[in-house]
């Protein structure tokens, strides 16, 4: 049997997760499948039987899995155990996941690695809290193939009515969350009914055995038909052995792209054309498609960073904003609170995020809704999130891969979410102009890195604010002089240099609520940064909103925000705050920041 499989195994491996409430018999079912498919190492079964005999414990199939001392002593699965078995069709990697509520995060870790799931419900005990919760989590994790096993049928005398009532009750629940299981099977892991072979005690059941049902699951296909998306993992320039390539690397998450295609990087909106597809020990490639790890060189050298999403320029379906509505599940020990700052990771982007509003909290097992300002552990919530800067994403129902994110709290992944819809943010009017400008930008033959090497400096905007005009300006001028003496290419602009020239047409239009003058200042800054300069700008009472306009306009360029003066009188959170009596230290600090920043 093994020989037959091995020759075709390439196409036919599948990851399966087994979930369900604690003690409903997940490990027993796996143990039974391992024995019935003859997949255990020689002597393992005898060894476990012997251990049981010595400890005067009845033998259980579950013991086969409990490789760890920790687990055996508590009798529960703490983490996901993996094991392998084979049927005539293919090889399975089974992930046994814990049914205990405390270990939901482990269940999610296990389930997210699976292509299909078996959800186990104890016929004798009926539907329990985690039977429901796990069902909900499977749907949120995006696992579409689910078969429900009604286990321990031997304990209810193989009664058809018991089976039917559980099935009906569970379907009712799943319908509410829009999930439809592939099938239901009455089984007994302990006895072996309907696992590998048909049970003769349940003539009333005419469906597949568990193994037949597993063989019926379909392998996940990579999605080539969707729009092209590739989160940039890194931009590499390894110079060893004279390598001159500058490679944009990542894994294609959906769609496909060809050499010669024009591509756009979001959220910056910068464009270029694919010159080549790079790889090590591979045949020359002209096309890259979903699932493949790749590297591209580009025709025009544009400055892009890890975290941007590469899309085809022909397609404008990707969303760029800093606010969105999401469906989120929380796993953190500390509840998630409105107004608190977290980190969000989506694709290869990592950005600060605030929970702006909780629309409703849903108990994942009872589906009861409530209003709240906090999302407690194991709860699901519909909420509005606001990121510190704009990110590129998709609506999860359109492209799942770029429509889901995780939340980091205190260093640890503490929640996950699916994006339901984008919401307009305060930067939309600036961003629209920036995206258009970047797509029309006339690209030079000199790349960002080349300028850095030639000028021996990283272009940086130093934005100086404070409410003492004299102090602000004298600081900026002194800083400019010091950097200039150090042979840096540096330039100082005071806001008034812009107000009476570039802003002459709007200067007297008041009140300018959108702060168009700030956008224009930022546009000037962007040009000078692109030229490779270190730029020092002063303006009074810069607030967070102003800084966001600047950030949106200058894309990936370095920005150091400085507040001079003892008290910050706006909502700005500057990179560095300099007290009036420590001006000299402040100058030294900023100069050293400029020096530390090398490519």
Partner 1 sequence: MNRLEKLEAKSIYILREAYSEFKNLCMLWSIGKDSTVLLWLARKAFFGHVPFPLVHIDTSYKIPEMIEHRNKVAIDWGLDMIYGQNVKALENKETYPDGNITRIQCCKKLKTEALQKTLSGEGNRFRLNHETKKYEIDDNNEPYEGVILGIRSDEEGTRSKERYFSPRDENNNWDLGDQPPEFWDQFNTDFPLGTHVRIHPLLDWTELDIWEYIKKENIPVVSLYFDQGDGTRYRSLGCAPCTSPIKSNAKTVEAIIEELKTGKLSKIAERSGREQDKEDGGGLEELRKDGYM
Residues between 246 and 265 with contacts to partner 1, criterion CB under 8 A: 247, 249-251
> Per the structure block, which two tokens stand in for 546?
């102003």
CB of 41 to partner 1, least distance (A): 5
Stretch that binds partner 1, among 368-376, 398-406, 448-456, 584-592 (CB under 8 A): 398-406
* From 129, 171, 279, 477, residue interacting with partner 1 (rule: CB under 8 A): 279
Cα 107 → chain centroid: 18
Q: 238: how many CB neighbours lie within 10 A of its CB?
A: 10
Residues between 546 and 575 with contacts to partner 1, criterion CB under 8 A: none
Residues between 88 and 127 with contacts to partner 1, criterion CB under 8 A: 93, 105-106, 108-109, 111-113
* From 83, 185, 493, 568, residue interacting with partner 1 (rule: CB under 8 A): 83
Q: Does 406 bind partner 1 (CB under 8 A)?
A: yes
Separation between Cα atoms, residue 301 and residue 555, nearest integer Å:
16
Q: Does 233 bind partner 1 (CB under 8 A)?
A: yes
Task: Give the DSSP H or E segment for 548.
Answer: helix 544-554
Peptide bond into 267 cis (omega under 30): yes
Is 165 or 348 the residue whose CB approaches partner 1 more closely? 348
Is 109 or 188 the residue whose CB approaches partner 1 more closely? 109
End-to-end CA distance of the chain: 57
Q: What is the DSSP letter of 88?
A: S
Q: Does 13 bind partner 1 (CB under 8 A)?
A: yes
Is 96 or 480 the residue whose CB approaches partner 1 more closely? 96
Q: What is the DSSP letter of 221?
A: P
Residues between 127 and 156 with contacts to partner 1, criterion CB under 8 A: 141
Q: Does 352 bind partner 1 (CB under 8 A)?
A: no
* From 57, 67, 175, 541, residue interacting with partner 1 (rule: CB under 8 A): 67
Q: Does 341 bind partner 1 (CB under 8 A)?
A: no
Query: Judged by CB under 8 A, how many residues of this single chain contact partner 1?
Result: 65
- CA angle 421/425/431 to nearest 5° reads 110
CB of 4 to partner 1, least distance (A): 11
Task: Give the long-range contacts of residues 472-477, CB within 8 A, separation 24 or more.
Answer: 472/538, 472/540, 472/564, 473/538, 475/564, 475/578, 475/583, 475/586, 475/587, 476/536, 476/537, 476/538
Collect all residues with Cβ–Cβ distance below 8 Å to 17 and sequence separation of at least 6. Answer: 80, 94, 95, 97, 110, 111, 113, 114, 116, 117, 118, 143
Q: What would you report as the CA-atom Rg of the chain, rounded to the nearest whole angstrom?
A: 30
CB of 241 to partner 1, least distance (A): 7
* From 273, 306, 433, 473, residue interacting with partner 1 (rule: CB under 8 A): 306
Helices vs. strands in the chain: H and E counts, helices first: 15, 28
Is 233 or 337 the residue whose CB approaches partner 1 more closely? 233
Collect all residues with Cβ–Cβ distance below 8 Å to 65 and sequence separation of at least 6. Answer: 27, 30, 31, 77, 81, 83, 96
Is 201 or 345 the residue whose CB approaches partner 1 more closely? 345
CB of 141 to partner 1, least distance (A): 7
Q: Does 45 bind partner 1 (CB under 8 A)?
A: no
Q: Does 331 bind partner 1 (CB under 8 A)?
A: yes
Is 140 or 150 the residue whose CB approaches partner 1 more closely? 140
Separation between Cα atoms, residue 100 and residue 129, nearest integer Å:
10
> Per the structure block, which two tokens stand in for 369?
């809704």
Q: Does 404 bind partner 1 (CB under 8 A)?
A: yes
- CA angle 593/598/599 to nearest 5° reads 145
Q: Which residues bind partner 1 (CB under 8 A)?
A: 2-3, 6-7, 9-11, 13, 40-42, 67-70, 78-84, 93, 105-106, 108-109, 111-113, 141, 222, 233-234, 236, 238, 240-241, 243, 245, 247, 249-251, 278-281, 291-293, 295, 306, 331, 343, 345, 348, 404-406, 408, 411-413, 416
């Amino acid at each position: 049997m093994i020989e037959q499989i091995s020759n075709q195994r390439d196409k036919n491996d599948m990851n399966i997760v087994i979930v369900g409430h604690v003690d409903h018999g997940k490990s027993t079912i796996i143990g039974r499948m391992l024995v019935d498919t003859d997949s255990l190492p020689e002597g393992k079964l005898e060894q476990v039987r012997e251990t049981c005999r010595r400890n005067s414990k009845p033998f259980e199939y579950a013991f086969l899995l409990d490789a760890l001392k920790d687990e055996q002593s508590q009798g529960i699965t703490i983490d996901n155990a993996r094991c392998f078995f084979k049927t005539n069709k293919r090889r399975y990697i089974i992930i046994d996941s814990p049914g205990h509520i405390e270990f939901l995060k482990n269940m999610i870790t296990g389930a997210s690695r699976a292509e299909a799931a078996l959800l186990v419900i104890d016929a004798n005990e009926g539907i329990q809290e985690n039977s429901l919760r796990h069902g909900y989590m499977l749907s949120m994790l995006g696992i579409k193939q689910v078969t429900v096993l009604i286990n321990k049928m031997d304990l209810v005398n193989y009664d058809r009515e018991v089976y039917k009532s559980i099935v009906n009750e569970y379907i009712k629940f799943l319908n509410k969350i829009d999930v439809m299981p592939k099938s239901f099977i009455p089984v007994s892991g302990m006895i072996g009914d309907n696992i590998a072979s048909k049970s003769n005690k349940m003539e009333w059941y005419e469906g597949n055995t568990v193994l037949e049902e597993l063989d019926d699951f379909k392998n996940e296909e990579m999605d080539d038909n969707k729009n092209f998306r590739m989160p940039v993992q890194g931009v590499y320039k390894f110079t060893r052995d004279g390598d001159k390539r500058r490679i944009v690397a990542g894994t294609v998450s959906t769609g496909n792209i060809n050499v010669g295609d024009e591509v756009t990087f979001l959220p910056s909106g910068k464009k270029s054309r694919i010159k080549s597809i790079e790889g090590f020990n591979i045949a020359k490639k002209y096309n890259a498609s979903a699932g493949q790890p790749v590297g591209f060189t580009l025709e025009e050298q544009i400055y892009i960073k890890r975290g941007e999403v590469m899309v085809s320029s022909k397609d404008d379906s990707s969303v760029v904003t800093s606010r969105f509505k999401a469906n989120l599940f929380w796993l953190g020990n500390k509840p998630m609170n409105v107004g608190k700052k977290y980190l969000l990771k989506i694709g290869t982007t990592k950005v600060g995020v605030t929970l702006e509003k909780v629309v409703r909290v849903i108990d994942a097992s009872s589906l009861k809704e409530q209003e709240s300002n906090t999302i407690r552990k194991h709860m699901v919530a519909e909420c509005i999130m606001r990121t510190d800067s704009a990110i590129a994403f998709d609506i999860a129902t359109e492209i799942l891969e770029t429509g889901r994110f995780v939340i980091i709290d205190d260093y640890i992944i503490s929640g996950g979410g699916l994006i339901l819809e984008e919401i307009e943010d305060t930067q939309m009017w600036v961003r629209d102009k920036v995206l258009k400008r970047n797509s029309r930008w006339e690209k030079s033959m000199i790349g960002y890195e080349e300028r850095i090497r030639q000028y021996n400096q990283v272009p940086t905007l130093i934005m100086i604010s404070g409410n003492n005009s004299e102090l602000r300006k004298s600081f900026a001028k002194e800083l400019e002089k010091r950097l200039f003496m150090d042979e840096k290419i540096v330039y100082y602009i005071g806001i008034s240099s812009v107000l009476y020239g570039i802003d002459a047409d709007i200067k007297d239009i008041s009140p300018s609520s959108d702060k168009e003058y700030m956008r224009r200042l930022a546009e000037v800054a962007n040009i000078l940064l692109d030229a490779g300069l270190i730029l020092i700008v002063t303006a009074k009472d810069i607030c967070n909103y102003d800084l966001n306009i600047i950030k949106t306009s200058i894309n990936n360029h370095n920005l150091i925000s400085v507040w001079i003066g003892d008290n910050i009188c706006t909502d700005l959170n500057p990179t560095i705050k300099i007290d009036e009596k420590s001006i000299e230290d402040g100058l030294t600090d900023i100069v050293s920041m400029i020096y530390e920043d090398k490519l």
